[in-house]
Structure 1
Amino acid sequence: MHEYDLIADWYASQRSGDMGVQEVTALAASLPGGASVLDVGCGTGLPLTRVLIEHGCQVLGVDSSRELLARFQATFPRVPVLCAPIQSCELQALTFHAAIAWGVLFHLRHEEQEQAISRIAKALKPGAAFLFTSGDTHGSIDGEPMNGVPFRYHSYSVDGYRELLRTHGFTLEATHTDPGGNFHYLSRKTG
């Protein structure tokens, strides 16, 4: 997203702490050794890509922000990345044991979210987990600007995501809200 290019330095300085670490740690611990993980909207890679790497995962980072990816590559020079929106990203014949999409889907309009989920589904092995964050109420809203840059957010309801996931071969296994107010979805590719 172009907006993140505008705030990359600020965002990199703000994205610290343990937001998402517990959930991604649990996911990584459930994967086989050396599992391949698609990190959608990887940003700077901190802290979540680091968690995956520390658990022995082989990560491919995907982000549409060149500025955030530059910071990612400075921290993780051996981790491959693709600079592209996930909904049009060419993953060739790559397949993954899991995918995460932390803080990214809600930036995409509803039809783009469907394209993104379809693309992710095609890249996942049967039985693979897909962990993501988004809202839990259907609609679109203007959010608070980040460092002066306005952002718009889009979400389905929980039932809307359940149906969208089912359409693309996933079963929604669990949802929860963390102490920071982030709504998490854990799904699994069924076929």
Structure 2
Amino acid sequence: MAQVPPFDRIGKRYDESFVERDAQVAEGEWLVGRLTGPARVLDLGCGSGLPTARQLVDAGLDVVGVDESAAMLRLAERHAPGGRYLRRDMRDVADLGEFDAIVAFFALIMLPRRDILPLLTQLRGQLRGPRLLQVAMVLGDFDELPISFLGVPATATAYPPDELAGLVERAGFAILEVNEVRAEAERNRLEVQIYLRARAT
């Protein structure tokens, strides 16, 4: 029997769980301030479309959202109409063409470390124009760690900030900024999040 993606089981509870998303909203605002329509943006692991895809669509940008969860994509179509949403593995985007910017907010955390550098390297080759990349991860130092998120089993990968920056640099990017933010990701559970901005060299 095929395994059900964790976020198909989580569905709308994902957005209901978040207490603080100010930092992610600020990252979206930063990107919007550097792009103009019809700039094309790839939202890797777009989830429910909140908050990022909706911010980008509302700014008049051409948004392509990719997620493996059909349940999350249905939410994205409702929350951020006007984007193009595709159900696929985030490692399978080479055929989607070029983008002015790529965002991966809490998406790479779902991949094993062995796949992250090859994906980032591929994404660098798909960037044009301002060639911007934004990544958000949870602070940590583990690879495919078994976790429970909202009661659903999953695995997670994380890096210390300097290692994440070094990984992005090895993929062919110049780091613009790295910030650490403490946020309440689920009610009564604090975590440290890393937000990284880069430009393809």
Query: In the alignment, is residue 118 of structure 1 matched against residue 116 of structure 2?
Result: no
Contact 2:109 2:137 in 1 (8 A): yes
Question: Are the structure 2 counterparts of residues 179 and 138 from structure 1 closer, same or farther at C-alpha, using a change threshold of 3 Å?
Answer: closer
State the secondary structure of the residue aligned to 2:149: coil
Give the Cα separation in 2 of the matches to 1:168 and 1:74.
34
Cα deviation code 1:140-178 (max 9, x no counterpart)? 3343x2221122221233333333222322111211012
Which residues of 2 match residues 31-50 of structure 1 at below 5 A?
31-50=35-54
Give the Cα separation in 1 of the matches to 2:174 and 2:8.
34
List gaps (5 residues or longer) in structure 2: 184-191
Q: Which residue of the other structure, out of 152, 159, 163, is the alignment partner of 2:155?
A: 152
Contact 2:57 2:83 in 1 (8 A): no
- Give the equivalent residue in structure 2 for 1:64: 68
Runs (4+) of structure 1 exceeding 6 A deviation are: none
Which residues of 2 match residues 100-111 of structure 1 at below 5 A?
100-111=103-114
Give the Cα separation in 2 of the matches to 1:54 and 1:126.
21
List gaps (5 residues or longer) in structure 1: none
- Give the equivalent residue in structure 2 for 1:54: 58
State the secondary structure of the residue aligned to 2:66: strand
Give the Cα separation in 2 of the matches to 1:126 and 1:167.
20
Question: Are the structure 2 counterparts of residues 74 and 127 from structure 1 closer, same or farther at C-alpha, using a change threshold of 3 Å?
Answer: closer
More strand by share: 2
Cα deviation code 1:115-153 (max 9, x no counterpart)? 32123222211541101111444323343x222112222
Give the Cα separation in 2 of the matches to 1:157 and 1:120.
22
RMSD: 2.1
- Give the equivalent residue in structure 2 for 1:184: 195
- Give the equivalent residue in structure 1 for 2:171: 168
Question: Are the structure 2 counterparts of residues 18 and 164 from structure 1 closer, same or farther at C-alpha, using a change threshold of 3 Å?
Answer: closer
Count residues with an aligned counterpart: 188
User: Normalising to structure 1: TM-score of the pair?
Assistant: 0.87
